């Protein structure tokens, strides 16, 4: 071969090699990135080319489905049963606007494209069966979800309920809510529905149970009491605390006030929680100091994201100065918490100090219903000892028996709880938030812990209280769980 031909051959070889390298780079290195790009319409077309698998509650009841469409590139679209009630759990799956929450995170299982379903896909190629998606079985209790949704009604707020012994999420409700079916397609009507929901000032698409943080108010006094016991500041829940009345906030000229003329001077921990004494718990927080309060809050899950697998925003107990730390100890100042976080606090107390990792996926199923994944419960932390947890149980049960939480009483069941009315807005200018956290105990242990927050803008300011607005909702949810286990 002469020299010019040899050069041409080498040049062509380099071009072919470059083409092979580029092709392999795109197909293997960047495949996932290119598949997930919003501009890649083929991915969405394939996602809706067959019926998606279902999201299931109570071990066998699907709350989702698929219907065949008559126009466009997408053969099927997603539908929901009682969409507004279940949207905070399932999220949405839209031909035009992608997906979120379980519909997004579990897309591989629901479409049948997950690597664990490779055998099923391969088998269907030989049998001629149409491709199907797998199912996601959640831990959600339909009766508890309904009780929470109906309890909130037209009020703005959220409910989170857990099984303290396993961490299973039993209810997750946020109101106002939305129906994912209204924009599941790809039409002008779907676009209008999406725009309306996206611009609604009440934010119906915000999952308040996981993604909104509120001042927890007096419900946080349970954490402050735990810090007092765990750090040995007090060992008995019935001994007098060193709590003067009035109590001046440290480094200030102002007093920390209680709600009304209640006997909080040197009140015991039990009595201070029953009456919800700001002065007692504000002083405890200051006596312990900011770092010990942060450490205790962190053991309950504060200051880090929680994955259920849907991400819940981090609740915050802040690093702050002395007066602000005293206020944070009663759930005010820059202290912020999600309803899920406060349900975790109640669950840890109910479970003798053990905090289990919250989760909402029990099983994943192949299209033929074979189980390919089963969740194994996992302990997240040990916020307090068993002995101190039982002391806190006595305190919370006193709150319900004869304190501010009597509206959560359930016949034949032991209930512990804590009310909260959290100040809101600059100089408390807005209507407060009503909180209630609680747990129920039967002779078989504690099957449920609940956190409820209500933002009721329609109520009279003087009528807003955790015991009045939130406790009855928590009671209904706890009763629904207990009744469902009979």
What pLDDT digit, counting tens, does each position of 408-418 carry? 999 999 999 99
Kindly provide the residue ranges of all beta strands, DSSP E only, lying in 388-429, ordered along the sequence: 414-424
Rounded average pLDDT over 378-388: 98
Q: How far is CA 357 from CA 149, 344, 438, in A?
A: 24, 9, 18
Strand-pair partners of 161: 171, 450
Catalytic residue among 174, 177, 181, 218: 218
Q: Are 397 and 206 in contact (CB under 8 A)?
A: no
Question: Residue 350: inside a domain, yes or no?
Answer: yes
Residue 321 tokens read as: 């100065």
Q: What angle do CA 243, 249, 253 make, to 5 degrees?
A: 125
218 is catalytic: yes
Q: 102: which 2 tokens?
A: 């379980």
Res 38 pLDDT > 60 = no
Q: Which of 263, 290, 285 lies closest to 274 in space, CA to CA?
A: 263
Q: Considering the domain boundaries, does residue 272 fall inside one?
A: yes
pLDDT of residue 460: 41
Whether residue 348 is contained in a domain is answered as yes
Mean pLDDT of 235-245: 97
Q: Given strand 445-455, what is the order of strands in its sheet?
A: 169-175, 156-162, 445-455, 430-442, 414-424
CA 42, 72, 67 angle in degrees (round to 5)?
95
Over residues 426-451, the mean pLDDT reads: 86
Give helix then strand counts, H and E, for the chain: 18, 20
pTM for the complete prediction?
0.90
Lowest-pLDDT range of 105-114, 150-159, 345-354: 105-114
Mean pLDDT score, 118-135: 68
Please, what's the b/e burial string for 275-286 (b: 16 or more CB within 10 A of its CB; e: otherwise)?
bbbbbbbbbbbb
Domain that holds residue 241: 210-358+380-484
Element (H, E) at 269: helix 269-275
- Find out whether 131 and 124 touch, Cβ atoms under 8 Å: yes
Provide the pLDDT for residue 134.
93
Q: Which of 378, 308, 354 is nearest to 161 (CA)?
A: 308
CA torsion through residues 302, 305, 306, 312, sign: positive
Residue 426 has pLDDT above 60, yes or no: no
Task: Let me know if residue 131 belongs to a domain.
Answer: no
Pairing of strands 55-57, 135-138: parallel
In this predicted model, which residue has the larger pLDDT, 35 or 256? 256
Q: How many residues does the chain have?
A: 486
Indicate whether 1 belongs to any domain: no
Whether 268 is in a domain gets the answer: yes
| CA nearest neighbour of 446 among 437, 438, 458, 454 | 438
In this prediction, residue 13 has a pLDDT band, given cuts at 50, 70 and 90, of confident
Q: What angle do CA 356, 360, 363 make, to 5 degrees?
A: 110
Give the pLDDT confidence score for residue 1 in this predicted structure.
Answer: 57
Residues 6+ apart with CB under 8 A from 349: 222, 226, 384, 389, 392, 393, 396, 416, 439
- Using the predicted structure, report yes or no on whether residue 477 has a pLDDT greater than 90: yes
**Angle between helices 290-299 and 278-288 in degrees, nearest 10:** 100
Q: Are 354 and 390 in contact (CB under 8 A)?
A: no
pLDDT of 459 reads 45
Band of residue 125 on the pLDDT scale cut at 50, 70, 90:
low
Residue 341 in domain:
yes
The rounded distance, in Å, linking the Cα atoms of 315 and 216 is 10
Name the least confident of 73-77, 156-160, 357-361, 418-422.
73-77
pLDDT at 36 over 60: no
Q: Judging by beta carbons within 10 Å of its beta carbon (0-12, 13-18, 19+), is residue 169 exposed, middle or buried?
A: buried
Tell me what pLDDT residue 110 has. Answer: 95
pLDDT (tens digit per residue) in 276-293: 999 999 999 999 999 999
Please check the confidence at residue 167 and state whether its pLDDT lies above 60: yes
Task: Report pLDDT digits (tens) over 64-93.
Answer: 999 988 777 888 899 999 999 999 999 999
For residues 216 and 249, give the distance between their C-alpha atoms in angstroms, rounded to a whole number. Answer: 20
**pLDDT(22) > 60:** yes
Q: What is the mean pLDDT of the segment spanning 225-247?
A: 97
pLDDT at 132: 82
Query: How many C-beta atoms surround the C-beta of residue 20 within 10 A?
Result: 10
Cα dist from 93 to 202, 342, 468, whole Å? 22, 29, 37
**For all residues of the chain together, what is the average pLDDT?**
90
Domain of residue 219, CATH code: 3.40.710.10
Q: Is residue 29 included in any domain, yes or no?
A: no
> What percentage of the chain has pLDDT greater than the value 70?
90
Distance CA 414, CA 446 (A): 9
Report residue 271 as tokens.
Answer: 């009595």
Domains identified in the chain, total number: 1
């Amino acid at each position: 071969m002469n020299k010019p031909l040899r050069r041409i051959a080498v040049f062509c070889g380099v071009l072919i090699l470059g083409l092979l390298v580029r092709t392999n780079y795109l197909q293997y290195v960047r495949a996932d990135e290119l598949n997930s790009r919003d501009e890649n319409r083929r991915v969405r077309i394939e996602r809706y080319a067959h019926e998606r698998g279902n999201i299931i509650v109570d071990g066998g009841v699907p709350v989702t489905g698929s219907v065949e469409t008559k126009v466009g590139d997408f053969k099927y679209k997603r539908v929901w049963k009682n969409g507004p009630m279940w949207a905070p759990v399932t999220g949405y799956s839209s031909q035009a606007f992608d997906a979120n929450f379980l519909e997004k995170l579990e897309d591989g299982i629901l479409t049948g494209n997950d690597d664990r379903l490779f055998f099923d896909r391969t088998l269907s190629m030989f049998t001629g069966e149409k491709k199907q998606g797998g199912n996601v079985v959640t831990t959600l209790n339909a009766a508890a979800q309904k009780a929470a949704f109906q309890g909130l009604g037209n009020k703005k707020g959220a409910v989170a309920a857990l099984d303290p012994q396993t961490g299973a999420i039993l209810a997750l409700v946020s109101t106002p809510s939305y129906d994912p079916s209204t924009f599941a397609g790809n039409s002008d009507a779907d676009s209008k529905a999406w725009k309306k929901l996206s611009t609604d000032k009440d934010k119906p698409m915000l999952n308040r149970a996981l993604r909104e943080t509120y001042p927890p108010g007096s419900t946080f006094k349970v954490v402050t009491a735990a810090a007092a016991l765990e750090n040995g500041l007090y060992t008995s829940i019935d001994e007098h605390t060193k709590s003067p009345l009035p109590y001046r906030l440290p480094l200030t000229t102002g007093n920390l006030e209680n709600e009304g003329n209640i006997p909080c001077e040197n009140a015991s921990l039990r009595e201070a929680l029953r009456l919800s004494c700001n002065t007692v718990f504000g002083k405890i927080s200051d006596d312990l100091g900011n770092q010990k309060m942060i450490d205790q809050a962190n053991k309950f899950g504060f200051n880090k994201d929680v994955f259920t697998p849907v991400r819940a925003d981090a609740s915050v107990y802040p690093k702050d100065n002395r007066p602000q730390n005293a206020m944070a100890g009663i759930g005010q100042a820059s202290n912020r918490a999600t309803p899920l976080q406060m349900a975790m606090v109640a669950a840890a107390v109910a479970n003798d100090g053990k905090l289990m990792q919250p989760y909402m996926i029990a099983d994943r199923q192949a299209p033929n219903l074979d189980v390919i994944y089963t969740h194994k419960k996992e302990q997240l932390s040990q916020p307090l000892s068993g002995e101190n947890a039982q002391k806190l149980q006595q305190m919370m049960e006193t709150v319900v028996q004869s304190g501010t939480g009597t509206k959560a009483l359930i016949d034949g069941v032991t209930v512990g709880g804590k009310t909260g009315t959290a100040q809101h807005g600059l100089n408390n200018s807005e209507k407060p938030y009503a909180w209630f956290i609680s747990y129920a105990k039967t002779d078989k242990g504690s099957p449920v812990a609940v956190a409820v927050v209500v933002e009721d803008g329609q109520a009279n300011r003087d009528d807003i209280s955790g015991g009045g607005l939130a406790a009855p909702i928590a009671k209904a949810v706890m009763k629904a769980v207990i009744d469902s286990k009979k």
